[in-house]
Amino acid sequence: MRAFNVLLNGKKLCLAGVHETGVLSTMVVWTKRDGNEKLFMEVGGLAQEENRKWIKQRHLRVGDEIRIKIVQAKSVDKPIEITRTDPVERLKDAKRYVRVMAKELGWKIQTRPPRSAP
């Protein structure tokens, strides 16, 4: 499988991968709001209706060096967190998102009653 070998300042943090199909991502995030500054990284993925995390908000400092090497691996490190995606909750989230975006765009959502059987 394709995998990410993630190092911070020359030290291995994780070898992450999601086998045959899925999504694998690494994010480096900097934010500053209301005087609060955050600098962190995350490594996660999605496969088989599971969200997986190998690194969750690992704090970083100016000068840190992150290296991500894309490798072919037979096995990867066990994620620190696995959460199942609930299809019912996912549908609720999608509907909520559509309502919020429709409102933001000034659209009106119209629903049709189900068609009755002949």
pLDDT at residue 118, rounded to an integer: 66
C-alpha span between 89 and 97 (Å, rounded): 12
pLDDT at residue 117, rounded to an integer: 66
Q: Summarize the confidence of residues 39-61 as an average pLDDT.
A: 95
pLDDT per residue over 82-103, tens digit each?
999 788 888 899 999 999 999 9
Return the higher-pLDDT residue of 88 and 70: 70
Reading the block at residue 41, the tokens are 């990284």
Percent of the chain predicted with pLDDT > 90: 79
The rounded mean pLDDT for the chain is 93
Token pair 């490594």 is at which residue?
43
Q: Summarize the confidence of residues 29-54 as an average pLDDT.
A: 94
